[in-house]
Amino acid sequence: MTIKLYCFGESGNAYKAALTLELSGLEWEPVYVDFFNGETRKPEFRALNEMGEVPVMIDGDTTLTQSGVMQDYISSKTGKLGGQSADERREILRWMFWDNHKMSSQAGPLRFMMNFVPEEKRPAAVIDWLTGRFKSALKVLDAGLDGKNWLVSDRLTIADIACCGYLYYPEPFGFDRKDYPNIDAWLTRISETPGWKAPYDLMPGSPADRA
């Protein structure tokens, strides 16, 4: 049975789930959610996910929300992209929880405000504050990759996919790869993984569609 992923191209969190599905080899298909026209606020979508967020993943009788849960589910289902010991699994979760709290939680709102909010409505003070937080997180990630090819062990895992979720997007939001050499090399390694695709190539919906 084909897994369905409710998503849209601009969502970094949806990209984490989509890229995990793609690299796991599972059969899946994207279901476009028209976020920018309010689809996630409609009762029909809230019946699917009361949190009113993408992504949502449906695999037969199993419905999941939150990208990290989906990544763990995919890894457990396929035996790929996960830890090979209890210690590795905990280290993977450590980086995923860190990403959720320190990286994506800054990068997502910052990118949204700098690119998808009308210029006259962009809150400069909030953008400045988020920029500082985001740059601090990037320094932690860059240091965590020092002398390493991957965040955990000697291979790509869902920890890497979680932490790179926003870093392939082309819109300007305070991230320049050349400022973080370890992250830069790591992103290149991920993108050279067979099956890798950029967000707008993997999921429907992009700023160009609304231009």
| Residue pLDDT, tens place only, 143-200 | 999 999 999 999 999 999 999 999 999 999 999 999 999 999 999 999 999 999 999 9
What confidence category does residue 1 fall into, taking pLDDT thresholds of 50, 70 and 90? confident
- Whether the per-residue pLDDT at 204 is higher than 90: the answer is yes
Give 59-83 as a DSSP string.
ETTEEEESHHHHHHHHHHHHS-SS-
pLDDT in the model for residue 76: 97
Q: Is the peptide bond before 204 cis (omega within 30 degrees of 0)?
A: no
pLDDT in the model for residue 147: 97
Residue 10 contacts residue 206 (beta carbons within 8 Å):
yes
The overall longest dimension of the chain from CA atoms, in Å, is 51
Show the domains of the chain with their CATH numbers. Answer: 3-81+197-210 (3.40.30.10), 86-191 (1.20.1050.10)
Closest-CA residue to 127 (of 106, 102, 98) = 106
pLDDT in the model for residue 107: 98
Half-sphere exposure of 10 (CA within 13 A, CB side): 19
pLDDT in the model for residue 89: 97
Residue 57 contacts residue 63 (beta carbons within 8 Å):
yes
pLDDT in the model for residue 42: 97
Q: pLDDT tens-digit profile of 9-59?
A: 999 999 999 999 999 999 999 999 999 999 999 999 999 999 999 999 999
Q: Which amino acid is at 142?
A: D
Q: pLDDT tens-digit profile of 70-119?
A: 999 999 999 999 999 999 999 999 999 999 999 999 999 999 999 999 99
Distance CA 161, CA 75 (A): 12
What confidence category does residue 210 fall into, taking pLDDT thresholds of 50, 70 and 90? confident
- Whether the per-residue pLDDT at 211 is higher than 90: the answer is no
